[in-house]
Amino acid sequence: MAIDFFWRIPTHGEPSSHRARTPFRGDWFPGNDNLRQAGLGGGGADGFTYIDYLAEIARAAEISGFQGGLIPSFPMTDEPWAISALLARETRTFRFMIPFQPGFLNPVVAARMTASLQRATGGRALYNVITGGGGPAQLWWGDAAGHDDRYTRTTEFLDVVRGVWRGGPFSYQGKFYQVEDAGLATPLAEQDFPEIYFSGSSDAALGSASKHADYYLTWLEPFEQLREKFARVHEKTALLGRKIKCAVRVDIVARATEEEAWDEVRKGFDAVDAATLRQFLSADGGDSVGAARQRGNRPTTLNSYKDLITAPNIWSGFNLLRGGQTQGIVGSYQQVAERLDELVQLGADAFILASTPHLEEAYRVGEEVLPLVRGHTSALLRAA
């Protein structure tokens, strides 16, 4: 069985290591004094832009065996649709996983945008459908819809995108979307429909995923919890006469030895300030079930990085180092590959991996870890 591996493109900028806060790469990272004059030391422009840096990461991932990359979408990033189009010109086989919340796009426009990108890149676009975590973060986007309504809207959105992609005439009357005799024109309607990676842990999310997703995407959780989650989504999908694959998004720290890997984590943890630690231990807002499941794995007290080791080679403090998910894999190249193999045995068919800095780590992980994972086939070999 072939396993797909994707990398992460840090569109929000990044530090030069897990343990460092300066210098910053890219021009989005909070606290970057060279925000508008990135380049030479001291802030002088040298003609090398943040897009050039992202392109280096995409090329590094491409030649190191990754099928493509996730292009994050947050208030502090550029728009993934635009970044995808720019990076497409810099790569040959690299596939662009575009995250977006359906409520912020008209589905007919989204279908035309995607089909145009598919046509221009030879079918390298994928969807990472995000329905949103609620709370203040959701209101930043101007979206006050309730949790289950957001998933109903997502289902309708994908109904319409699929319907118009066939060329029409397509009509639809839903709670959130109404379309009359719509459809993509030739040659857009002839393009391959993008694979859909779908995130969400609630019953409403699993219901929507079972209808439309090709891959059900989850953060790393305790392995038995993942086994149960995969079983639930497979069961719901089978009731609709469909099959679905599963994918895991996970940060890793991989080194030649386990001691080196944990030393990197220790240095990163020791560089975290007290305010960040307090915020980490406090309750978060929003109504995301997935985020709540992540919070459920936090300790009540925190005195050392070791307090966050929840299982062999599993560390639950990654969002202290760069935000995002909490659980990740730490160990030697062989150990990281073994944990990924265990996830494959649980039912994972694909992974979105990440590590800081994404440029150097794309080479390290691609060259040292991926060849040790059973089922791995490089993107370039597949293209050939």
* DSSP symbols for 286-313: S--HHHHHHHTT--S--SSGGGGEEETT
The identity of residue 280, as a single letter, is F
Two tokens, residue 85: 């189009």
Taking the whole predicted model, whether its pTM rises above 0.85 is answered as yes
Tell me, what amino acid is at 45? A
Determine the Cα–Cα distance for residues 312 and 335; give it in Å rounded to an integer.
Answer: 9
The whole-number pLDDT of residue 44 equals 57
d(CA 339, CA 357): 22
pLDDT score at 344: 96
What does the DSSP assignment read for 188-201? GGGSPPPPEEEE--
CB 283 within 8 A of CB 295: yes
Task: Give residue 283's pLDDT.
Answer: 58
pLDDT of residue 379: 52
| CB contact set of 243 (below 8 Å; sequence gap of 6+) | 237
Report residue 332 as tokens. 């030697």
pLDDT tens track, the chain, 384 positions? 689 999 999 998 888 888 876 657 776 665 544 444 445 555 556 677 889 999 999 999 999 999 999 999 888 889 999 999 999 999 999 999 999 888 888 999 999 999 999 999 999 999 999 887 666 777 776 777 788 889 999 999 999 999 999 998 999 999 999 999 999 999 999 999 999 999 888 888 888 888 999 999 999 999 999 999 999 999 999 999 999 999 999 999 999 999 999 999 999 999 998 888 888 887 555 545 545 555 555 666 788 999 999 999 999 999 898 877 899 999 999 999 999 999 999 999 999 999 999 999 999 999 999 999 976 555 544 554
Residue 287 has a pLDDT of 47
How many Cβ atoms sit within 10 Å of the Cβ of residue 138? 22
Left (φ > 0), alpha (ψ -120 to 50) or beta: where does 122 sit? Answer: left
